Amino acid sequence: MKGLFILLLLSLLLVPSSVYARDDIDSYSIKEALDLELSKEKLGNDIKFYFGDQDHGKILKNYGKFRTNKKTNAFNKSDLKACQRAFLSAMTSLRDRAVKEGGNAVINIKSNYRNNLTSSEDNFQCGAGGLMAGVALVGTVVKLAE
């Protein structure tokens, strides 16, 4: 048993560290991520989300711009699954902030991975590596006329 452990440890040392240091930045579908059952369950319907320059109702009150940066374990997951999970965590954070501030929507949501602001109505940016995946978003919490 001890010999097997040593063999496993030596084989891990032979794997290049670049495998663990991978940080691929890619775009993923907002719609696909929001259509997941877990997303619907976690985010609910009380807060509305508007990405990029999507049209929204009249703003009654602006509570300010808020940022979120969420990471998730990507080990043994596809980049897609890990990035969707990190996106859900970031969206949950924006939702919680809207509730805390008294808003009913988050507008102008943009990706902000590594402080690179990217506006899209269709896609979010995610950085994925061998061990972690991360999504950073920025959005404005508002109260919209209903």
Residue 71 lies inside a defined structural domain of this protein: yes
The burial of 34, by beta-carbon neighbours within 10 Å (0-12 exposed, 13-18 middle, 19 or more buried), is given as middle
pLDDT at residue number 134: 97
Bridge partners, 107 (sequence order): 140
Q: Which domain holds residue 98?
A: 22-144
Q: How far apart are CA 45 and CA 21, in angstroms?
A: 38
What is the CATH classification number for the domain harbouring 61?
3.30.110.70
Handedness of CA 80, 82, 87, 88 (dihedral sign): positive
pLDDT at residue number 77: 93
Cα–Cα nearest to 64, from 108, 125, 112: 108
pLDDT at residue number 6: 59
Number of domains composing the chain = 1
pLDDT at residue number 130: 86
Residue 53 lies inside a defined structural domain of this protein: yes
Residue 17 lies inside a defined structural domain of this protein: no
Mean pLDDT by 10 residues, the chain (146 residues): 56 52 89 97 97 97 98 94 98 98 98 95 96 97 95
Task: Decide if 67 contacts 137 (C-beta within 8 A).
Answer: yes
Q: How far apart are CA 72 and CA 69, in angstroms?
A: 10
